[in-house]
């Protein structure tokens, strides 16, 4: 090695001996390259970690994990009761059936989507990370797909995890489905209902979050959508006696109605008015309409996010 090369790699001491300058030089990346698939996988993993507060200060972990506690703790309590009492608690109507447990899950979903999810898109635009993402093998569609899959996967843990826990625990305790066929049917229903609810809420939450660069505004927008859509549609249908198909705009209850259709259970009997006629409710809608309405929410959310980010990309 030449003397000049040796001096380039060795530290150069300052005159007073208090500091050193290390010539590291430019070194090209020589590790493995995973292309688009690897970039998307990295976005999904990092987004899920960000959403759950992993690797972030404790204050960022409290809210997402509180949502998981809200969804899972009732299931743990029910399993404990099933272990103590030696009877079939579901058939005796002591414990809720699987489709009835979603009331707790909806509360956790509302909390998670309203407070946590908006940050997953807003943060990248606010801190300037979006252009850096798009400078990698990622393209706009793959970046957005990765973000959506990260949110959907996290929400699926809330919508599916507690029910799977109940299914396994009830089966071991003896209150679960009888026979392999019934057990597999319940499993398919749990997975299908959980994915359907997670997809609808993910699309709606990300669509609202894409419209603003302020986290507070995104949180308010998501909460207003989830709560306001229910209040407005109920007022229009039940009070103004308009067409019940307006319930298609009630994003939260629409997912719950699709869940009931997946489980094959009839909705509660509609409330009867003063004239004795049945009330106007989601139960009046055909199953195909409920399914299409949920799919329309997913499609509309994807279109809004794509339109918004195409405009952002065009201005950069």
Q: Please name every residue paired with 13 in a beta bridge, in sequence order, or none if there are none.
A: 20
Q: Is the pLDDT of residue 200 over 60?
A: yes
Q: Is the pLDDT of residue 222 over 70?
A: yes
193 in any annotated domain: yes
1 in any annotated domain: no
Mean pLDDT (the chain, rounded):
80
- DSSP states along 186-227: HHHHHHHHHHHHHHHHHHHHHHHHTT-S-HHHHHHHHHHHHH
22 in any annotated domain: no
pLDDT of residue 24: 66
Average pLDDT over residues 168-189: 82
101 in any annotated domain: yes
- Of the candidates 241, 228, 314, the residue with the CA atom closest to the CA atom of residue 275: 241
Q: How confident is the model at residue 90 (pLDDT cuts 50, 70, 90)?
A: low
Structure tokens at 129: 């990370």
Angle, to 10 degrees, between the axis of helix 180-209 and the axis of helix 215-234?
120
User: What is the distance between the alpha carbons of residues 168 and 45, in angstroms, rounded to a whole number?
Assistant: 27
Q: How confident is the model at residue 185 (pLDDT cuts 50, 70, 90)?
A: very high
Q: CB–CB of 88/94 below 8 Å? A: no
User: What is the distance between the alpha carbons of residues 13 and 150, in angstroms, rounded to a whole number?
Assistant: 49
The position carrying tokens 């090209």 is 28
Range with lowest mean pLDDT among 98-102, 172-176, 303-307: 172-176
pLDDT of residue 86: 61
Q: What is the pLDDT of residues 125-169, one digit of tens each?
A: 888 888 888 877 888 889 999 999 998 888 888 999 889 888 887
Instruction: Specify the number of domains making up the chain.
Output: 1
User: What is the distance between the alpha carbons of residues 229 and 163, in angstroms, rounded to a whole number?
Assistant: 27
Q: What is the pLDDT of residues 23-38, one digit of tens each?
A: 666 677 666 776 788 8
23 in any annotated domain: no
Q: Is the pLDDT of residue 208 over 70?
A: yes
3 in any annotated domain: no
User: What is the distance between the alpha carbons of residues 256 and 167, in angstroms, rounded to a whole number?
Assistant: 19
- DSSP states along 14-51: -TTSS-EE---------S---HHHHHHHHHHHHHHHHH
Q: How confident is the model at residue 188 (pLDDT cuts 50, 70, 90)?
A: very high
Q: Which domain holds residue 306?
A: 35-268+278-315
18 in any annotated domain: no
11 in any annotated domain: no
Average pLDDT over residues 8-34: 60
CA 260: distance to chain centroid? 20
């Amino acid at each position: 090695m030449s003397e000049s090369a040796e001096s380039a790699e060795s530290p150069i001491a300052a005159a007073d001996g208090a500091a050193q300058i290390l010539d590291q030089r430019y070194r090209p990346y020589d590790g493995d390259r995973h292309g688009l698939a690897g970039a998307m996988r990295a976005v999904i993993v990092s987004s899920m970690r960000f959403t759950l507060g992993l690797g972030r200060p404790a204050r960022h972990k409290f809210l997402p994990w509180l949502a998981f506690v809200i969804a899972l703790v009732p299931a743990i309590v029910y399993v404990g009761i099933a272990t103590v009492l030696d009877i079939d608690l579901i058939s005796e109507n002591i414990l809720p059936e699987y489709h009835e447990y979603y009331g707790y899950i909806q509360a956790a979903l509302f909390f998670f989507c309203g407070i946590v999810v908006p940050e997953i898109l807003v943060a990248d635009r606010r801190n300037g990370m979006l252009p850096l993402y798009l400078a990698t093998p990622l393209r706009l569609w793959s970046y957005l797909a990765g973000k959506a899959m990260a949110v959907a996967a996290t929400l699926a843990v809330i919508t599916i995890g507690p029910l799977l826990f109940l299914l396994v625990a009830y089966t071991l305790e003896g209150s679960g489905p009888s026979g392999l066929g019934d057990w597999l049917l319940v499993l398919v229903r749990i997975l299908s209902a959980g994915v359907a609810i997670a997809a609808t809420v993910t699309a709606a939450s990300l669509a609202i979050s894409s419209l603003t660069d302020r986290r507070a505004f995104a949180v308010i927008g998501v909460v207003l959508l989830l709560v306001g859509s229910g209040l407005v549609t109920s007022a229009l249908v039940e009070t103004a006696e308009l067409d019940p198909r307006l319930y298609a705009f009630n994003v939260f209850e629409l997912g719950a109605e699709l869940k009931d259709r997946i489980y094959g259970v009839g909705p509660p009997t509609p409330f009867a008015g003063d004239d004795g006629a049945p009330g106007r409710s989601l139960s009046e809608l055909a199953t195909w309409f409920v399914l299409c309405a949920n799919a329309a929410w997913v499609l509309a959310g994807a279109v809004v996010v794509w339109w918004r980010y195409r405009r952002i990309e065009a201005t950069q």
